[in-house]
Amino acid sequence: MFYLLICAFAGVLGVKYYTSMGMRKLEHRLRGVQQDLDKVKGLKKEKEDEQKEMADEEDLCEERIRSMKDIINDLEYRLTTSKAEETEVI
């Protein structure tokens, strides 16, 4: 009877050791995955910042183009009205 108790105790210790080794390996893998995840999050944030900067630059360029078109249209209008006034004066 005592022999069975010793065998059962040794079995419990063996299973406990095996489980702790498995947990240690799992924690190691989890730390590696967490580090990779942190790197990817950093890269994602950088890309989002770059994308925001590019969107801001694009908006600025579009505003400049709109302003230039307005200036060109205004100049064309002034030239056509000045030509019309010249023909009326002559």
What is the C-alpha separation between 64 and 66, in angstroms, rounded? Answer: 5
- Residue written as tokens 């967490």? 34
Residue 90 included in any domain: no
Asked, for residue 35, whether it belongs to a domain, the answer is yes
In a domain, 49, yes or no: yes
* Domains contained in the chain, number: 1
Task: Please give the chain's pLDDT, 90 residues, in tens.
Answer: 888 999 999 999 999 999 999 999 999 999 999 999 999 999 999 999 999 999 999 999 999 999 999 999 999 998 888 776 666 665
d(CA 69, CA 73): 6
Q: Record the pTM.
A: 0.57
Which whole-number Å values give the CA distances from 43 to 22, 50, 53, in the listed order? 32, 11, 15
The residue range of the domain holding 62 is 1-85
